[in-house]
Amino acid sequence: MCRRDTALRGVLFGQACRQSPPHHPPGRGRITTYSSCVLDGTPASDERTRTAATFEVLDKFHLHTLQAKTTAYDFYAVLERLTDNTGVKPSNRYQVFLRMARQYRHLLMLKRAGRGHDRTGVWGTGAGELAVDCPVCPNPKVNLPEGWENAPPEDQFLYILFLALDACFRLKRRMVSSEIKDPGLGTGWVYVLENAPYRHFLQTVTDQKEMSTCSGLAALDYANTKFSRGYSTTGVGMGVCARHEFVQPNGVGDFQKGERFANMDYIFGSILRHKDPRIRKIVSYDIVQFSLNLVPGSGQTDGKGIERPWASFGAIATSTRVSGPGARHDALDDHWNFWNWLKTIGLPALLRRRLDAARKEQASQREAFELFSVQQADCVPTWKKMVEDFEMDGEKKNPYQMVVAGLTEMDVRLKFATEEAEEAKSGVPALHVVTPSAFINTGLVLEEHHPGGIEEGGDYGNGDQHEDTACQAQSDGFRKLQATYSPAALQALAARSAPAEELAEQVPVMLPSALPPALREGGGCVAGLVEIENEMRGAQCRTALPRLRNQLHIKSRFLLYKKHNSRHQGMNTRSRTIVARNETKIQLHSEKFQMAWEARLRIAGGDESRVGWPKLKKEDIRCMQDAEELSRNAEKQRRANARRMRREEEHREDGLLPVVDEDEDDVMVTRGGENMREISWIWTLAGTAGTDEELEDALRIEWAKAWARSRRWTEEVRLLEEEWRRLPVTYAYRERQWLDRAVALPVGVIPFEEAQGMVAYAAKHAQLYRKLAAWAEETRTGEKLQAGKKRRVFQPSWDPIIGTEENDAAAGSGAEDDDDADDDERGDIESDEELLMGGEVDED
């Protein structure tokens, strides 16, 4: 007869049937074998069952591998230790355990998706049907009101679906096993694409090249170099909802070699087949750089949110790397299902935090924008029309963009990319998959990030370990490319004397311009590389100079406004903060120009006449008439006028001057040394005279950005309120789904005990979603918590089907520390300065 081991609850591997192994007395074994029946467990085989695992131990392993990313090998080793920790190992059942665990989690996904209640059974499962969907993304069949497609224009953004795409090259798989030997139990039913149609499509695009090298050296290095040799899968591409980071059904596909457009196109198309075609979509993909801050209707959607799931899934890369294709797909599907479920139960707290932050920031941005608009009241109608015209027709003048004479940095990169593409078509062999212009561009980006570089907040060693590690990996990839394009740079780096404590990120980038002419020649640098850098440096100068003038204009206006309007300590402190941030931007643009100018000077052999611009000195960085000097001069002039008036009054009293009528205006106005003022060359070069027209352009750009920020935060508040409306609607829909499944059971056809269990399971899930909806409402309407306080856990009434213990556990699973600001919140703007001085629009 069968006997259940109860010596240590939760770690029982099987149930002893006839007898335990000789070295385990009855009742003490942890790993045992079967010869016949299985009670409360899963057998290793449905024929000649000899080994089984209890549901208890499988549940524990399942949660350990999902939450702690514990591997099956380590968990099995723990079971062995619990069975006998003296060094005597029981019979090896490791492969059997893997098979049982894989089958068990597959059955759980089927059961939780309601396949056991469907008359078509397992084989009636459709593509992506086992996936956990986002409850607050727009779905006309679930959570949108009737007539949503006919909403007025100002409300249509509420029904936009935001998607984000990205790739991860850590989720590789070695060339082991095959789909024939190891088919997936449910490939195509959850997140991973169906194998057959995906493979057939890829066979039609075998000659397609990888994507542009601008997507990042680190990713390309993983995808296209020796790190990918011996792998049948070099990574995965994935799509998520950009606002809530839910992995999309059938939104994950394997890469065979690098990140190709064909793979990502198929993944994106696979996602769209599950979406209503009437829904508008905004898609973010990190191979292009653009700002959602200027896209109407986008709110504060974080397009980089897709990077966060990779941090969690990267922990399973090692264990899935040596799996067969089917086992790997099953494991990844299970982990992504768990990720989506955690997102589901965490949505109420996340939406509450976001909405609280958005309402606060909306008020701040609106107040600062209205103040800015009052200052520029005469120009606002014209500027507003420009923005509206541009949003209606992108061919119209861009109100956010300053005019740059000549080729910009983006223009130069595009020019070289086009030339290199033409050379590749004509059969010119390439030295490396990363083109020469991409190599130089990457070096320029690294230069901006290095200590002493010009990117704001982008220095190394700032405490952000993730950012430092990413920059270090990019720097390592660049050094490998230097061996191909600029070996003299590696020689120069090896010859330099550096302190022992020097960090890797403090090592100079060493672009061709930094090398002496003797080292550049004779194979030290690839031919044409210096010319590419020289032209890119010129584009940097052309771009940095108007941005510098723009910020100087803003500085002048800020100082004058501070002089005439700032009163009392609070207002003066706020004004000084704005001016200080403006000074930081002036420094960034001036340093970028100076670095580019110095590089061009070295390339020109020290001849300043060949650089194209004068040297930018500290005294050149000033307004048309420096506002600080204006303020000082105005104060001096006021005191001088007061003294003059007093003397004149004294002279009149003595009869030395005629009496002046009190109503007569004082026409003696001092011009403030206008004929003594000199204009800096930054205003006179290229016909720029610092005119009112240029000042108006600078102010228009800042006003347009300020209006965009104010509108985006207003949109964010409305989007979050709409998502709060959808959440209980979706929960109610899923509750009805489970109740309908219970009602539809053919009780007279299937055995009564089986029907009873299926009804209970459906009622349990219906109660779960009813409970989640109640907790979400409690979270939404509860008072805002103070820092360090935890939100009270909602306790539902006891349910006879679920029971008190499960109620408490499920309710506790949703409790979160409300003061823990989530990384994906974007309510990090603190002052009007961000509105008036907010970040540059990246024209690149």
SS (H, E, C) 269-332: HHHHCCCCCCCEEEEEECCCCCCHHHCCCCCCCCHHHHHHHHHHHHHHHHHHHCCCHHHHHHHH
Query: Measured between alpha carbons, how far is 708 from 700 in angstroms, rounded to an integer?
Result: 12
Split at pLDDT 50, 70, 90, the class of 719 is very high
Decide if 298 is inside a domain. Answer: yes
Angle (nearest 5°) at CA 49 between 44 and 52: 45
Max Cα distance, the chain (Å): 132
Residue 31 falls inside a structural domain: yes
Q: Which two tokens stand for residue 838?
A: 């907010």
Q: Over pLDDT 90: what percentage of the chain?
A: 32
613 in any annotated domain: no
Cβ–Cβ under 8 Å, residues 105 and 334: yes
Listing DSSP states for 672-718 in one string gives -SGGG----HHHHGGG----HHHHHHHHHHHHHHHHHHHHHHHHHHH
The neighbour count for residue 408, using CB atoms within 10 Å, is 18
Task: Please tell me whether residues 323 and 188 are part of one structural domain.
Answer: yes
Same domain, residue pair 172 and 55:
no
User: Residues 6 or more apart from 287 whose CB is under 8 A from it?
Assistant: 211, 212, 214, 215
Residue 277 and residue 322 in one domain: yes
- Given a contact cutoff of 8 angstroms between Cβ atoms, the answer to whether 620 and 681 are in contact is yes
CA-closest candidate to residue 134, choices 722, 723, 718: 723
What are the structure tokens assigned to 774, written together? 């109640």
Same domain, 193 and 292: yes
Residues 90 and 154 placed together within one structural domain of the fold: no
Do 296 and 239 lie in one domain? The reply is yes
Domain final residue pick, 52, 85, 112? 112
For residue 781, pLDDT over 50 is answered with yes
Query: Do 211 and 325 have their domain in common?
Result: yes
Q: How far apart are CA 416 and CA 532, in angstroms?
A: 8
Dihedral of the alpha carbons of 546, 552, 556, 559, in degrees to the nearest 10: 140
- Check whether residue 161 and residue 103 sit in a common domain: no
**3-state DSSP call for residue 52?**
strand
Collapsing DSSP to helix, strand or coil, 253 comes out as strand
Give the whole-angstrom CA distance, residue 8 versus residue 28: 9
Residue that wins the pLDDT comparison between 412 and 457: 412
- Say if residue 67 is in the same domain as residue 196: no
Residues 157 and 242 in one domain: yes
Q: Is position 620 within any domain?
A: no
State the DSSP code for 751. -
Whether residue 608 lies inside any domain: the answer is no
Parallel, antiparallel or unpaired: strands 160-168 and 52-54: unpaired
* Together in a domain, 249 and 305: yes
In a domain, residue 227? The reply is: yes
Q: Is residue 536 a contact partner of residue 414, using CB atoms and an 8 Å limit?
A: no
Q: Is 366 helix (H, G, I), strand (E, B) or coil?
A: helix
End-to-end CA distance of the chain: 74
* Three-class secondary structure of residue 481 per DSSP: helix
Which of the residue ranges 136-145, 392-401, 417-426 has the most confident prediction, judged by mean pLDDT?
136-145
Which band of pLDDT confidence, cut at 50, 70 and 90, is reported for residue 108? very high
CA distance 680 to 690: 10
Q: Which residues form the domain of 271? A: 148-349
pLDDT in tens, 544-585: 888 888 788 777 766 666 665 555 565 566 566 666 777 888
Neighbour count for residue 397 (Cβ, 10 Å): 9
Judge whether 326 lies within some domain: yes
Query: pTM of this prediction?
Result: 0.68
Which of 84, 112, 140 finishes a domain? 112
In contact, 246 and 270? CB cutoff 8 Å: no
Last residue of a domain, one of 349, 372, 397: 349
User: What is the tens place of the pLDDT at every residue in 229-261?
Assistant: 788 888 999 999 999 999 999 999 999 876 678
Question: How many structural domains are present in the chain?
Answer: 2
Q: Do the Cβ atoms of 683 and 690 come closer than 8 Å?
A: yes
Owner of token pair 């190599």: 439
Q: 16 in a domain, yes or no? A: yes
Contacts of 713 (CB under 8 A, 6+ apart): 299, 300, 358, 361, 362, 365, 366
Q: Which letter, b or e, does each residue of 112-145 get, where b requires 16 or more Cβ atoms within 10 Å of its Cβ?
A: ebbbbbeeeeeeebebbbbbbbbbbbbbeebbbe
Position 762 confidence tier, pLDDT thresholds 50, 70, 90: very high
pLDDT at residue number 765: 95
pLDDT band for position 827 (cuts 50, 70, 90): very low
Residues of 588-609 as b/e, b for ≥16 C-beta within 10 angstroms?
bbbbbbbbbbebbbbbeeeeee
Instruction: Please tell me whether residues 334 and 264 are part of one structural domain.
Output: yes
β-pairing verdict for 231-233 and 173-174: antiparallel
